[in-house]
Every structure is written in C-alpha cells, then in structure tokens.
Structure 1
C-alpha cells in the first residue's frame, strides 16, 4: 500500500474532554486563519506540537493549518483563472467558504469537539 491510498480520510479526533485553555487556544488557531492565513495556525502548532498534554490544541492547530494551506492553493488557482473570467467568482467563493468554515470550526473547538474541515488536503500529519 502506498502512503496516498487513504488521503481523503481525515485522521481520528483525539478522545477525551479538552480543558478550557486548550479549547480557547484551538478556537484562536481556527479564527487566525481568517486574518493571517496559515501563519497563525503554524505558530500555534509549532509551539504546542511537542507537549503531549496539549493533544487537543496540536490536533486542531494541525487541522487549521492543513485547511489554510488548501485555501492558499485555491486562492492561487483562482488568481490564475482570473484571466479566464471565472477566477473572480472562485476567489469570492473561496473567501466565503474560508470565513464560514473557520467560524464553524472555532465554535466546535470552543465546545471541546474536534472539527474536521471538508475538502482539506492532509499535508501535515
């Protein structure tokens, strides 16, 4: 089997109830995607990835990072397609999807539920 056979299947969510500080940091990781792209989630993931007690934060920051990388790729493709006149519509749709899905993920993370973005390339494992 190759490493790419199960690319579309999201990893399982961490089990257990997350403490309030981890839920807040996960909420911030998701919301920063609206304003900073993948940079905010990358910083949160890098700071917390080696701490085994911050499993929920690490998982949600990694999920936000993967989604923001996917959004960045979609923005690049849409910008190239502006030449064909469909890119402007795609840019708007990507922006709206990013906004809605980041807010939805932030609410779920604040409730202590692990959120998995749809249509996300799982590049960071």
Structure 2
C-alpha cells in the first residue's frame, strides 16, 4: 500500500463532510466520486478505491433521501415541509456523525464500512 493512502483516505472522509455542509447537502458525494475516478484503476490503491466507494455510496444514499423530501415539498406546495423536516435533521446528523466516525477509523489505519448505503460504486 502506498504511503499516501492513509492521508488520502482521511481526506476523502473530511472532504466529503465539508462538501456536504458547504453545499447544503447537494454535493457531498462529489469528493469521493472524484477520488474514486482518479484511483479506481491504479495498482496498490484498492483501499483508497474502496474508501471512496463507501463514502460515495453513503453520501449518495443520503442525497437521494433528501431529494425525495424536496420533491415531496414541491409537489405538495410546501405542505409536506411540516412532515419531512425530521428527515433533513436525521440525515444531517447521520452524515455528520458517520463521516466523523469514518475519519477517526481511517486515521487509526482501519477500514470503515458505512451503514445505510445503496451499493452504486464498488
């Protein structure tokens, strides 16, 4: 495993968290997707590819949940906002906590398996 793998994996988790909150949860999946495209075929970077795929799958799943909530608000002309606000709260807290846990595990040299994810990338 190349020497920079652990640092880059940590950057995936922290970058995903930063992108998630700086974009209002719209672009959180972009950081791991970029890393995945760069490192998916490079020899010796399987750990990094798997880390990026897990971060992307989790962030993309949370993004889909938030988009469904957004669409329900638009379709009901705002009435559903009273019902879906807990969804935003739960997904926001889940993204914060889970990405921090993933960053801590990666910093300790361990692989983190994300919960609640649709497998889009491998």
Q: Report the number of matched residues.
A: 108
Listed as ranges, the gaps of 5+ residues in structure 2 are 20-27, 74-78
Per-residue displacement from partner, 1:13-60 (whole Å, max 9, x unpaired)? xxxxx5552111111111222222011111111111111211111110
1:76 aligns with 2:67: yes
Q: Secondary structure at the match of 1:86?
A: helix
CA–CA separation in structure 2 for the residues paired with 1:117 and 1:109: 12
The residue that corresponds to 1:53 in the other structure is: 44
The residue that corresponds to 1:4 in the other structure is: none
TM, length-normalised to structure 1: 0.79
1:26 aligns with 2:9: yes
The residue that corresponds to 1:119 in the other structure is: 116
Q: Which portions of structure 1, spanning 4 or more consecutive aligned residues, are displaced by more than 6 angstroms?
A: none
Per-residue displacement from partner, 1:53-78 (whole Å, max 9, x unpaired)? 11111110111011111011011122
CA RMSD of aligned residues (A): 1.5
Q: Are the equivalent residues in 1 in contact too, given 2:39–2:48 (CA < 8 A)?
A: yes
Q: Cα distance, 1:81 vs. partner?
A: 4.3
Listed as ranges, the gaps of 5+ residues in structure 1 are 1-17
